Amino acid sequence: GSMRVAMPGAVRMLCLAALLGALGAGGTELTLELPDSAQRCFHQELESGIKFTLDYQVISGGHYDVDCHVEDPNGKTIYQETKKQYDSFSHHTEVKGVYTFCFSNEFSTFSHKIVYFDFQVGDEPPILPDMNNRVTALTQMESACVTIHEMLNAVIDSQTHYRLREAQDRSRAEELNGRVSYWSVGETLILFVVSIGQVVLLKSFFTEKRPSSGGAGT
């Protein structure tokens, strides 16, 4: 099925193109900007008895947290978490229909978030032909291929994890650098004002007072 995105205008078309293209491979990865006091929802039509997995992580913004919930076609909430930095949710569908998952930043009034999510549908197909129907043991070559495939999947997951951590750490470093820069500018201004005040104050101490004019008549 196709995934529909509750986003306005050109952003909706761009995200739809990315999502529909990725769903051919059984899932999608997307990084979205979530403004303050906003919510973004995605809709996916699924058959019954299918497994789907949702992984998400906040990359930047505020305290790196977001609300997330998932609803089945009957409107029943099957997953709900508030102010999570990252999480993973897996579910086997019981009914056919449109499943909805939403990311919400409505609790934040001034900071927008960057959220990454990975939505995978269905089980991975076997890497060898008729692998699920074979009753004989796998050959040493086939077993090695399966092991290598599983290890490569683990490497891909680790690379994604470290890539997200690097992006999150870079965002925090840039935010910290900005705060340090603003604080340095503030300290410079304060030092400049204090220096001028000291000069004026010292100058007033050493200023010679002129005697008042107007003498006494003789």
How far is Cα 186 from Cα 167, in angstroms, rounded to an integer? 29
Total residues found in the chain within this entry: 218
- 98 has which bridge partners? 45
Distance CA 84, CA 82 (A): 6
Alpha helices, DSSP H, located in the chain: 9-23, 140-206
pLDDT band at 138 (very low <50, low <70, confident <90, very high): low
First to last CA, the chain: 115
**Least confident segment among 17-21, 78-82, 190-194, 208-212:** 17-21
* Under 8 Å between Cβ of 53 and 90: yes
Query: What would the pLDDT profile of 10-66 be if each residue is shown by its tens digit?
Result: 333 333 333 333 333 467 888 899 998 899 999 999 999 999 999 999 988 888 899
Q: How many CB atoms lie within 10 A of CB 5?
A: 20
Q: Six-digit token pair at 3?
A: 């995934």
By C-alpha distance, which of 109, 118, 113, 120 is closest to 167? 113
Supply 82's token pair: 């508030």
Q: What is the DSSP letter of 139?
A: P
**47 SS3 class:** coil
Cβ 37 vs Cβ 67: under 8 Å: no
- The whole-angstrom separation of Cα 137 and Cα 146 is 13
Q: Sort 64 into a burial class: Cβ within 10 Å, 0-12 / 13-18 / 19+.
A: buried
**Per-residue pLDDT, 136:** 58
CA R_g for the chain = 31
Kindly state the average pLDDT of the residues 73-81: 95
Which amino acid, one-letter code, is at 2?
S
Out of 48-52, 154-158, 194-198, pick the least confident.
Answer: 154-158
Number of other residues whose CB lies within 10 A of the CB of residue 168: 19
Q: How high is the pLDDT of residue 17?
A: 34
Whether the per-residue pLDDT at 69 is higher than 60: the answer is: yes
